[in-house]
Amino acid sequence: MINQIYMTFLQVAQSGSFSKASQQLFISPVSVMKQINNLEIQLEVPLFKRTTQGVTLTAAGQSLFDSVTKINVTANAAIESARSAGQQEKEIIKVGASIMRPGVPLVEIWRKYSDALQDYKLQVVPISDDDITLKSPSAEIGTQIDCVAGPSDSLQWQENYSVLLLGMDKFRLAVPRTHRLADKERLTFADLDGETIVFPPRDQASIIEKICQDIENNHPKITIINTTRFYNTDVFNEYANSNNLLLTRDIWQNLHPLMKTIPVDWDYESPYGLIYAKEPSDKMKRFVSIISHELN
């Protein structure tokens, strides 16, 4: 950075008066005048012509202004170059993100533990929810992306990938806005008698199996439908225009404008976490290790 007295000189030259320069520099006009007087004494030449209307540069002042401006531009460019080089030295973690897996939990952790994660930089990579299968949340994990942050209750996903638990997500019901229950702010099992609820595949997640069994054993008037694959946006589009209810979770509460997410009088919740390759890169291992340490 250039010495402050030269920065004051540049501001006075640009402002055309000591008072205007003082307003930009957040110091008093007297302080500005003292700095300029000291600079003129050091250089042994007058830099400004002083009048009642303001100040203008002398020939010596104009020469100094041109030189200092060039130096300032060069100095700022050098600073930006250094910052850029510093950013490039950070290890980049590519996070897959989609409508149903926006990566919000990881971003919140990133903000909370920014000091511990200062050597890393997040890069969000768009992925498709249509790629979700019973075996994988995304085939790009470990190749095009390093991880996905989202629901992690699938038994096959836990077998095929590493999962760092980040928290628990409460289950809700998504209700079509034309449904008779759409005006409710909370649902009871009595409200659900005679209704049909759509669930993900029950044999692919232990919590889904538990909810289905509990309903079948204790609330026989409720009908259960299980999809053949995990949810994507098409599932919400399909049931938004039906008379069925759809099991959803907090993170998806604003997913579809034609459906209202309503809490239910139950305590069911599901884990969400950071899903990454079984054999991750060294940078991903270190990244996960830091987060795991901070969470514990």
What are the sequence ranges of the domains in the chain?
4-87, 92-286
The pLDDT score that the predictor gives to residue 107 is 82
- pLDDT for 271: 92
Is the domain covering 92-286 a CATH 3.40.50.12500 domain? no
Handedness of CA 20, 25, 31, 33 (dihedral sign): negative
pLDDT digit string (tens) for 273-291? Answer: 999 999 999 999 999 999 9
**pLDDT grade for 210, boundaries at 50, 70 and 90:** very high
The residue-averaged pLDDT of 2-28 equals: 85
Q: Please say whether the beta carbons of 153 and 210 come within 8 A.
A: no
What mean pLDDT comes out for the span 62-87?
A: 69
**Apex CA 49: angle with CA 44 and CA 51, to 5°?**
140
- The predicted structure's pLDDT at residue 4: 83
pTM: 0.67
Topology (CATH level 3) of domain 4-87: Arc Repressor Mutant, subunit A (1.10.10)
Q: Which single residue is written with the structure tokens 């209810």? A: 245
Q: State pLDDT tens for residues 220-248.
A: 999 999 998 888 888 988 899 899 999 99
